[in-house]
């Protein structure tokens, strides 16, 4: 599915660890790709995914966008953004307790905001899966391919 670039920093020495790459990718979009040497891709992921998440928060306000009480399953998608989403959730909870009569976003801004932040989280989930696939392909480099199923041609 995914081809490994020749400039991977880890390909010459030891293969990178998949769990570490996935954890880094969860902590900051693109950090896993940066760690395995795909730095240009990492910067694109960081800019686009972080921008999408915070655009959503800007449209709806943090209290409307990142709230587990009202947004149900969307919060699970948003939490795929990692510490940024956790920080937004903490900020949202703080505002909920401190300023109870704060103005909330009206329709459709509220829905647009939640979808933006949720899609950003889901995109980061895809990036995590992509970095895992790249790490796996890097570890497989140099190993002989297994024979095709059924033994190939008869």
Q: Which parts of this chain interact with another protein (CB under 8 A)?
A: 2-3, 5, 40-41, 44-45, 48-49, 51-52, 54-55, 57-64, 95, 102-106, 108-110, 112-113, 115-116, 119-120, 123, 126-127, 130
Which of 108/153 has CB closer to another protein? 108
Which of 1/154 has CB closer to another protein? 1
User: Least Å distance between CB 138 and another protein?
Assistant: 15
User: Least Å distance between CB 151 and another protein?
Assistant: 32
Which of 23/105 has CB closer to another protein? 105
User: Least Å distance between CB 115 and another protein?
Assistant: 7
The angle, 0 to 180 degrees and rounded to 10, between the axes of the packed helices 18-27 and 109-140 is 160
User: Least Å distance between CB 116 and another protein?
Assistant: 6
Q: Determine how many CB atoms are found less than 10 A away from the CB of residue 46.
A: 17
Which of 41/75 has CB closer to another protein? 41
Q: Which residues contact 65 (CB under 8 A, 6 or more apart)?
A: 56, 57, 59, 71, 78, 88, 92, 105, 110, 113, 114, 116, 117
Alpha carbon distance 61, 63 (integer Å):
6
């Amino acid at each position: 599915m995914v081809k490994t670039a020749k400039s991977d920093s880890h390909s010459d020495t030891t293969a990178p660890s998949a769990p570490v790459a996935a954890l880094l990718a969860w902590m900051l979009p693109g950090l896993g790709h940066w760690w395995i040497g795909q730095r240009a891709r990492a910067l694109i992921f960081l800019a686009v995914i972080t921008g999408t998440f915070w655009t959503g928060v800007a449209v709806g306000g943090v209290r409307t966008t990142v709230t587990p009480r009202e947004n149900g399953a969307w919060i699970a998608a948003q939490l795929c953004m990692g510490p940024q989403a956790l920080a937004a959730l903490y900020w949202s909870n703080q505002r909920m307790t401190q300023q109870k009569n704060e103005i909330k976003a009206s329709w459709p801004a509220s829905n647009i905001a939640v979808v933006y932040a949720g899609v950003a989280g889901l995109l980061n989930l895809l990036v995590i899966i992509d970095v895992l696939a790249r790490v796996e392909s890097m570890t497989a480099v140099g190993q002989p391919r297994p024979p095709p199923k059924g033994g190939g041609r008869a």
